[in-house]
Homo-oligomer: A and B are copies of this chain.
């Protein structure tokens, strides 16, 4: 029997459906039993034909009953007493949250966030509204986009990269991705590593290494010095299929690969049939001299894969990057990813294209560089009275610097003492594949997320924390 509660928020058809289902699952209604006809039911219950039909269609759709000609709805065979009543079990071992420091963090000297004031909020809003209208009018708002990224963006990006980074390519060679890691994920599928290895600078970017490892690519390392990757140590055999490098701003040492080494690296790649993955992550952010042309710009053998991102120049929350593929890999990409959709929201692509097209992107970069230069200079000035005890290294680009202590001291000790004073600073350990090679007395400090006026107080806290070594 079905009881309807007309005061309930649950719609009438749903009450009928649920009670019928329970009858079947509990075995009170058995296989081949015939349901009361919909006409009879609506009279018994005093509900509309539509209400009964909706309940019955749902039961049919889910396979509890089937319609048999001249008989009506007949119960199908379903497993007994299987109604799912479990409450959510706490099977998940507690996922540990970030170990909350017991100290209040006043300043976080991270390299992976920026103060919100640096984001071009007004322009982003303006172009979002504008582009939504354009896309709507062109009936593109609700379509899949070009899987390599919209031509409108690729055209504008290319003319920007030509001008600022000397990049030489066609817009057909550009593929938009949702960031560096997806670019690398794709490359792992395009470059046939098989038993071959990838060569990484040591130290290098740990989040890039993670992608290669996740994709089962074997990593070998090559050391760097003040001129970047030491090309004389490139292996003479051809067990390497690709080199991942940050030539314009070695991460994290800050070295710039010299022009001589650039040519040698390109020659080596040609000779050993290897690709060069050039990660140009923050090279627009160079505030003293103009940006150094990309390695890609002097590659006439099509060995360089150029990777860029908007994470540093706009915001890491945008999730957009790009790769420029040499022709051989482009053909492989078009084949391998033929049925893949783009991974980048259409509207964001349009907004960034508009930013570049209007020149606002370049103006924004200049504003960023100005802000970062001021911050770096303030740190340098505030630390000038202890410069014999601690050396600040930066090549005048990006948004971080390294601090090296003259005395022997462990990173962990420095980090803990700084935390006690409310400042979070970072280890350099994670950038080293060979942990033993990591200098114990060098720290990694970012200034993306600290306002200029806070720097004196921040440095005062650090000096207090580290007075033993200063």
Interface residues on A, range: 35 or more
Q: Is the CB of A317 within 8 A of B121?
A: no
Q: Copies of this chain, how many?
A: 2
Known A113-B143, A261-B63: A129·B136 in contact at CB below 8 Å: no
Residues B78 and A259 in contact, CB atoms below 8 Å apart:
yes
Question: Is A106's CB within 8 Å of the partner chain B?
Answer: no
Q: State which of A40-48, A82-90, A357-365, A405-413 sits at the interface with chain B.
A: A82-90
B317 in contact with A145 (CB, 8 Å): yes
CB neighbours of A145 from chain B (8 A)? 317
CB–CB B168/A86 < 8 A: yes
Q: Which residues of chain B are within 8 angstroms of A63 by Cβ–Cβ distance?
A: 227, 256-262
Cα A115 to Cα B182 in complex, Å, equals 30
A331 contacts which chain B residues (CB < 8 A)?
Answer: 93
Q: A290 near B: Cβ within 8 Å?
A: yes
Q: A84-B297, A210-B340, A345-B317 are in contact. Are A79 and B263 (CB under 8 A)?
A: yes
A112/B143 contact (C-beta < 8 A), A78-B263, A339-B206 known: yes
Q: B64 to A316, Cβ gap below 8 A?
A: no
* Binary per-residue interface labels of chain A (371-390) against chain B in the complex, 1 for a CB within 8 Å, 0 otherwise: 00000000000000000000
Q: How far is the CB of A421 from chain B (nearest CB, A)?
A: 21
For window 304-357 of A, CB contacts with B under 8 Å fall at 315-320, 327, 330-331, 334, 336-348
Tell whether, in the assembled complex, residue A319 and residue B343 are in contact, meaning their CB atoms are under 8 Å apart.
yes
Determine the residue in chain B with the shortest Cβ distance to A144. B316
Q: With a CB–CB cut-off of 8 A, which chain B residues contact A207?
A: 339-341
Say if the beta carbon of A132 comes within 8 Å of chain B: yes
Asked if A57 CB lies within 8 Å of chain B CBs, one says yes
- Which B residue sits closest to A129, measured CB to CB? B125
> Does B93 contact A119, Cβ atoms closer than 8 Å?
no
The residues of B that contact A292 with a CB separation of less than 8 Å are 58, 61-62
A77 at the B interface (CB under 8 A): yes
Query: Is A214 interfacial (CB 8 A cutoff)?
Result: yes
Task: Select which of B77, B118, B336 is within 8 A of A260 by beta carbon.
Answer: B77
Q: Is A300 an interface residue (CB 8 A)?
A: yes
A283-311: CB near B (< 8 Å → 1, else 0) gives: 00000111011000110101000000000
Specify the chain B residue showing the minimal Cβ separation from A96. B334
Q: Which residues of B contact A320 (CB under 8 A)?
A: 345
CB proximity to B under 8 Å, residues A129-146: 129, 132, 135-137, 139-145
A438 to chain B, nearest CB (A): 17
Whether the Cβ atoms of A136 and B113 lie closer than 8 Å is no
- Min distance, Cβ A187 to any Cβ of chain B, angstroms: 13
| Cβ < 8 Å to B, chain A residues 118-166 | 118-119, 121, 124-125, 128-129, 132, 135-137, 139-145
Interface centre among A316, A330, A448, A449, by most B CB within 10 Å?
Answer: A316
Residue among B79, B125, B137 making CB contact with A128, cutoff 8 Å: B125
Which residues from chain B contact A6 at a C-beta distance below 8 Å?
A: none
Given A54-B288, A337-B214, A343-B179, verify A118-B92 contact (CB < 8 Å): no
Pairs A–B under 8 Å by Cβ, sample size 26:
A57-B289, A61-B395, A62-B292, A63-B227, A63-B261, A79-B263, A84-B298, A88-B169, A91-B327, A113-B139, A115-B142, A116-B136, A116-B140, A128-B128, A140-B317, A141-B315, A141-B317, A142-B316, A145-B317, A179-B343, A185-B185, A214-B336, A214-B340, A319-B342, A319-B345, A319-B346
Please list the residues of chain A having a beta carbon within 8 angstroms of any beta carbon in chain B: 14, 54, 57-58, 61-64, 76-79, 82, 84, 86, 88, 91-93, 95, 112-116, 118-119, 121, 124-125, 128-129, 132, 135-137, 139-145, 168-170, 172-173, 178-179, 181-182, 185, 189, 206-207, 210-211, 214-215, 227, 256-263, 288-290, 292-293, 297-298, 300, 302, 315-320, 327, 330-331, 334, 336-348, 395, 448-449
Q: A63-B227, A320-B345 are in contact. List 9 more A-B contacts (CB 8 A).
A: A63-B258, A63-B262, A88-B168, A88-B169, A92-B170, A93-B327, A113-B144, A185-B185, A319-B341
